[in-house]
């Protein structure tokens, strides 16, 4: 018996978060992003899409298409909090959950649905319960592999449910345009079309026949694609270990981008998430690594190790951006990640610090956690440590 792999994708997630925060935005055209020179649409509501607005579109163009467009700035901290609620909800069903990005995850439901007579109704109820508890809407794909589950969640939106068994591949996937295939980027799609590959079925035919021209075009990626379209892709859900040797976070961007402002915003949010987790666990790390995945799925890592271990979000962010600017600024990227590595317990370095310095560090960490918690509850960023006020004002 094959596995039951599920991909759960939150629908128009950032826009939906803003609707939850302000219900008056429901059924209105909303775009998330920067409203200014060089601003782009990170994502938008389904109502905005009716006007032709789409992710990665320049904001000025979006406003031309939809003059009454409501623009909201990206609030990664708020979105991250709702994302955490979503992931915790899914982990009530199964601990085998793999984060795919801030608004999606894979989960292994093989043991969960054993003995379930009406599997579609089971997942419909999951959708409803998630919405009832969090007001988040999701689409679900159920399949024996991760690729098929991902294609299933994309098949119907919003609030779609698609079950793809191996025997369903020719009927459900093969008629789809090659543009609709997960893993085929905007650069590869036109090249495939020039080769006569218009649909996923066309691609499958050439994969099955080991077409040499397609092999040359896709390189090593050819064999991954072949497995995907024939239903033999990976079914391994990769979970985070309970006691990781590093603390990291990554996110798949809504669209492939080389917009530095969006990349910086994303890295800043990732740095804050990593920092907060490290502070909560009383961990410090002397190594920071960033992960960058290109639009062609090629992944790159760069890291730097320094003398003084840290869990400070600003230091993590600044180092991450420096690594990015020096190594990957020329790339169009689809995924970004930050990891704080070679973790040590803060108390383990107490011997290397004076008692006064260590207690001061511990007090500052506790204070930072308290202030962050109060700001979240008050929905403001007004509270900060006195030292931060001094830095902001430029006073010594």
In a 3-state reduction of DSSP, which class is residue 142?
A: strand
Rg (CA), the chain: 23
In a 3-state reduction of DSSP, which class is residue 38?
A: coil
With beta carbons less than 8 A apart as the criterion, state whether 120 and 161 touch.
yes
- How many whole angstroms separate alpha carbon 154 and alpha carbon 140? 8
Residues taking part in catalysis: 104
Residue 222 Cα distances to 74, 76, 177, angstroms: 37, 35, 18
With beta carbons less than 8 A apart as the criterion, state whether 11 and 104 touch.
no
Number of neighbours of residue 65 by Cβ within 10 angstroms = 14
**Looking at the DSSP assignment, which residues form a beta bridge with residue 7?**
106, 141
Name residue, tokens 């987790």: 277
- How many whole angstroms separate alpha carbon 159 and alpha carbon 249? 27
b or e along 285-316 (b: 16 or more beta carbons within 10 Å of the residue's beta carbon)? bbbbbbbbbbbbeeeeebeeeeeebbbbbeeb
In a 3-state reduction of DSSP, which class is residue 370?
A: helix
In a 3-state reduction of DSSP, which class is residue 126?
A: helix
Name residue, tokens 């062609």: 296
Helices (H), the chain: 13-21, 46-49, 59-65, 76-91, 119-134, 146-155, 169-172, 188-194, 200-208, 212-218, 221-229, 260-280, 313-327, 355-378, 386-393
- How many whole angstroms separate alpha carbon 78 and alpha carbon 92? 22
Residues contacting 375, CB < 8 A, separation 6+: 381, 382, 383
């Amino acid at each position: 018996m094959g596995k039951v792999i599920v991909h759960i994708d939150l629908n128009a997630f950032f826009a939906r978060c803003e609707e939850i925060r302000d219900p008056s935005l429901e059924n209105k055209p909303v775009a998330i992003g920067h409203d200014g020179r060089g601003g782009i649409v990170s994502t938008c509501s389904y109502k905005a899409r009716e006007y032709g607005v789409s992710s990665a579109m320049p904001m000025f163009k979006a406003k031309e298409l939809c003059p009454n467009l409501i623009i909201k700035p990206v609030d990664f901290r708020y979105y991250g909090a709702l994302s955490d609620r979503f992931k915790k909800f899914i982990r009530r069903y199964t601990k085998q959950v793999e984060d795919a990005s801030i608004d999606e995850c894979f989960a292994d439901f093989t043991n969960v649905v054993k003995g379930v007579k009406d599997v579609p109704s089971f997942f419909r109820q999951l959708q409803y319960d998630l919405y009832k508890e969090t007001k988040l809407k999701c689409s679900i794909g159920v399949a024996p592999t991760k690729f098929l589950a991902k294609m299933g969640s994309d098949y119907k939106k919003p609030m779609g449910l698609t079950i793809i068994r191996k025997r369903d591949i020719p009927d459900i996937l093969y008629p789809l345009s090659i543009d609709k295939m997960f893993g085929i980027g905007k650069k590869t799609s036109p090249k495939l079309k020039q080769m006569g590959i218009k649909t996923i079925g066309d691609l499958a035919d050439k994969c099955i026949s080991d077409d040499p021209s397609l092999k040359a075009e896709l390189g090593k990626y050819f064999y991954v694609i072949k497995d995907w379209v024939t239903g033999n892709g990976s079914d391994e859900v990769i979970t985070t270990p309970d006691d990781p040797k590093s603390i990291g976070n990554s996110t798949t961007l809504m669209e492939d981008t080389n917009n530095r402002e969006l990349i910086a915003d994303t890295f800043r949010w990732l740095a804050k998430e990593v920092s907060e987790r490290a502070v909560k666990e009383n961990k410090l790390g002397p190594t920071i690594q960033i992960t960058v995945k290109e639009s062609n799925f090629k992944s790159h890592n760069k890291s730097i190790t320094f003398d003084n271990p840290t869990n400070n979000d600003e230091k993590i962010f600044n180092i991450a951006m420096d690594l990015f600017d020096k190594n990957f600024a020329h790339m169009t990227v689809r995924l970004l990640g930050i990891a704080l590595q070679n973790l040590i317990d803060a108390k383990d370095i107490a011997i290397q610090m004076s008692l006064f310095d260590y207690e001061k560090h511990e007090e500052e960490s506790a204070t930072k956690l308290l202030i962050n918690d109060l700001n979240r509850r008050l929905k403001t960023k007004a509270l900060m440590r006195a030292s931060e006020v001094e830095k902001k004002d430029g006073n010594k």
